[in-house]
Amino acid sequence: MPILVMKFGGTSVADLDRIRNAAEKVRREVERGYDVIVIVSAMSGKTNELVGWVSKTSPLFDAREYDAVVSSGENVTAGLMSLTLQEMDIPARSWQGWQVPLKTSSAHSSARIVEIPRENIDQKFAEGMKVAVVAGFQGISEEGRITTLGRGGSDTTAVAFAAAFEAERCDIYTDVDGIYTTDPRITKKARKLEKIAFEEMLELASLGAKVLQTRSVELAMRYKVRLRVLSSFEETDETSGTLVCDEEEIMESKVVSGVAYSRDEAKMTLLSVADRPGIAAAIFGPLAHGGINVDMIVQNVSADGRTDMTFSCPVDQVLRAERAMQEAKERGEINFGELVQDTEVCKVSVVGIGMRSHAGVAARMFEALKAENINIKVISTSEIKISVLIDRKYMELAVQALHDAFGLDEAA
Contact residues for Mg ion (CB under 5 A)? 9, 152
Is residue 222 a contact point for ligand ADP (CB under 6 A)?
Answer: no
Query: 324 CB contacts (<8 Å, ≥6 apart)?
Result: 286, 287, 289, 290, 292
Rounded to whole angstroms, the Cα distance separating 77 from 67 reads: 17
Using rule CB under 6 A, residue 97 touches ligand ASP: no
Among 96, 103, 136, 317, which residue interacts with ligand ASP (rule: CB under 6 A)? Answer: 136
Among ligand ASP, ligand ADP, Mg ion, none, residue 199 binds (CB under 5-8 Å by kind)? none
96 near ligand ASP, rule: CB under 6 A: no
Burial-class residue 362 by CB neighbours within 10 Å (0-12, 13-18, 19+): middle
Rounded least distance, CB 400 to ligand ADP, Å:
14
CA 387 to chain centroid, in Å, comes to 17
Residue 349 binding: pick among ligand ASP, Mg ion, ligand ADP, none (C-beta 5-8 Å cut-off by kind): none
Cα gap 163→284, rounded to integer Å: 35
- Cis omega before residue 101 (within 30°)? yes
On the CB side of 31, CA atoms within 13 Å amount to 9
| 194 makes contact with ligand ADP (CB under 6 A) | no
> Diameter of the chain by CA atoms?
77
Q: Which amino acid is at 374?
A: I
Which of residues 5, 8, 10, 140 is near ligand ASP by CB under 6 A? 10
Select from 148-156, 277-285, 352-360, 398-406 the region that touches ligand ASP (CB under 6 A): 148-156
> DSSP assignment of 303-366, as one string?
BTTEEEEEEEEEGGGHHHHHHHHHHHHHTTS---SEEEEEEEEEEEEEE-GGGGG---HHHHHH
174 binds ligand ASP (CB under 6 A): no
**Contacted entry of ligand ASP, Mg ion, ligand ADP, none for residue 183, CB cut-off 5 to 8 Å set by kind:** ligand ADP
- State which residue, 161 or 180, has the beta carbon closest to ligand ADP: 180
The only residue of 139, 153, 208, 241 in contact with ligand ASP, by rule CB under 6 A: 153
Which one of residues 102, 149, 162, 179 is an interface residue with ligand ADP (CB under 6 A)? 179
Please report whether residue 47 would count as binding ligand ASP according to CB under 6 A.
yes
Tell me whether residue 403 is exposed, middle or buried, using C-beta atoms within 10 angstroms of its C-beta: 0 to 12, 13 to 18, 19 or more.
Answer: buried
Q: Supply the minimum distance, in Å, between the C-beta of residue 258 and ligand ADP.
A: 6
Residues 307-346 that bind ligand ADP (CB under 6 A): none
Q: Which residues bind ligand ADP (CB under 6 A)?
A: 9-12, 41, 152, 174-176, 179-180, 182-185, 209-211, 258
